[in-house]
Amino acid sequence: MKKGGETGRRFIADLLFLLTACCTGAFATTAVMIPNGLTSGGLTGIVRILQTFIPLDFSVMYYALAMVIWIVVVLMLGMREGRKVLIVTLLYPAVLIIFEKLNFQLLEEKDIILAAIFCGLFSGVCSGLVFWRGYAFCGTESVAKILKKKLLPHVDISKILFLLDASIIILSAFIFGRNIALYALVTQFISSKMVDFVLYGFETRIVQMQIITAQTEAVAGYIMNDMHRGVSSCDIVGEYTGQHRKQLLVLCSPRESMVIKKYLMDADPAAFVAIMQVNTVWGEGRGFTDISDEI
C-alpha cells in the first residue's frame, strides 16, 4: 500500500513537471518562434514546413503528426516503447492548442536574433524538464529509433537523429530562406545547451553511474537491450554488512542517466546510485571521443 502511494505521488509530481515543461515549450513555439517566422529541427520543423502547403493551425497539425508517429512506434517498437512517449504525445499538443488560442507574443516587435535565442532557451528548458523526469517526445527521436532497429542497426542513433534534424533544417532553407535555416541552427544549439544545463550543468556531456542493486541482471539487461549502452560490473563487499554484491558501471549522457534512474525507481527503489561528471571519454560509443582525435 505504501509503495502504491509513493508511486501515485511520483506520478502526480511527474505530471506537474511535464505540464510546466509543455507550457514552456508551447510558449516558445507560439509566442516566440511562429510570430517571428522562425523554425527549428524535429517535429516542430516538419510542421512549420507543412504549414506553408496546408492551411491548418500549428497545434492541430502537430497533434496529428505526433499521433501518427506514436502509432508507428507502437507497431514497430512495441507498446513498451510507446508508453514512454504517450503522456507527452497527448499533453504537449493539447497545451499547444491553448497557447495558440491566447495569441500572445513575447517580443514587442519582430526581432529574429532575440527570437532565435529565447526560443532556444525556452525549448531547452522544456526538453530538459521532460528528460529529467524520464519521459520523451514522440518526434524525430522516435523515428530515429525505428530507423535504427529496422534499417540501420549498425549506425549510432545519435548520428541518425543528427541527420534527420539536419535534413529538416536544410529543407527549411529552401522554404523559408537560408537565413531562417541558420537561425534554426542557433536555436537548436542553445536548446541543446539548456537541456544539459537543466539536467547537470553546462559543462557535462557524459556522466558515470555506479549502481548497486539487488536486481543486477534485470538492470544490466535494460541498459544494454533497451538503451543500447554498455555496462561493466565488478564484485564488491559491503564492509558493514559483509554482503557480496555486483556494482554496475555505466557511461552515458545526462538524459540517459535520468531514464535509468526512472527505471530503478520501479525495479529497485532501494538501489544505491552514485553519479559523477566526466570531462572526456575516449573510446567507441555515443558521445565518446575517438582517441585519435586527441593526438
* Separation of alpha carbons 227 and 280, rounded Å: 21
**pLDDT score of 292:** 57
> CA angle at residue 159 from 154 to 162, to 5 degrees?
150
| Helix/strand/coil (H/E/C) assignment for every residue in 78-97 | CHHHHHHHHHHHHHHHHHHH
Residue 210 φ/ψ, nearest 5 degrees = -110, 120
CA–CA dist 25, 235 (Å, integer): 44
Residue 191 · residue 124 · CB < 8 Å: yes
**Contact partners, residue 20, CB within 8 Å, separation at least 6:** 129
- Domains in the chain and their CATH numbers? 2-199 (no CATH), 206-294 (3.30.70.120)
| Angle, vertex CA 126, rays to CA 15 and CA 257, nearest 5 | 80
Give pLDDT, residue 18: 93
Q: Which residue, among 200, 203, 221, 220, has the nearest Cα to 275 in the 3D structure?
A: 200
Cα 127 to the chain's mean position, in Å?
6
Contact by Cβ (8 Å): 94, 64: no
Cα 169 to Cα 91: distance, rounded to the nearest angstrom: 25
pTM: 0.73
The single-letter DSSP state of residue 290 is P
Per-residue pLDDT of the chain (295 residues; tens, 9 = 90+): 455 667 778 888 889 999 999 999 999 999 999 999 999 989 999 999 999 999 888 999 999 999 999 999 999 888 888 888 899 999 999 999 999 999 899 988 888 999 999 999 999 999 989 988 888 888 888 898 888 888 888 887 778 888 999 999 999 999 999 999 999 999 999 998 888 788 766 555 688 899 998 888 989 988 888 888 889 888 888 888 888 888 999 988 877 888 888 888 888 888 888 888 776 777 666 666 665 554 4
What is the C-alpha separation between 54 and 232, in angstroms, rounded?
51
CB-count exposure of residue 64 (10 Å: 0-12, 13-18, 19+)? middle
Residue 20 grid cell: 510546466
For the chain, how many residues are written? 295
d(CA 116, CA 112): 6
Residue 273, amino acid: V
pLDDT at residue number 294: 45
**What span, in angstroms and rounded, lies between the C-alpha atoms of 181 and 203?**
26
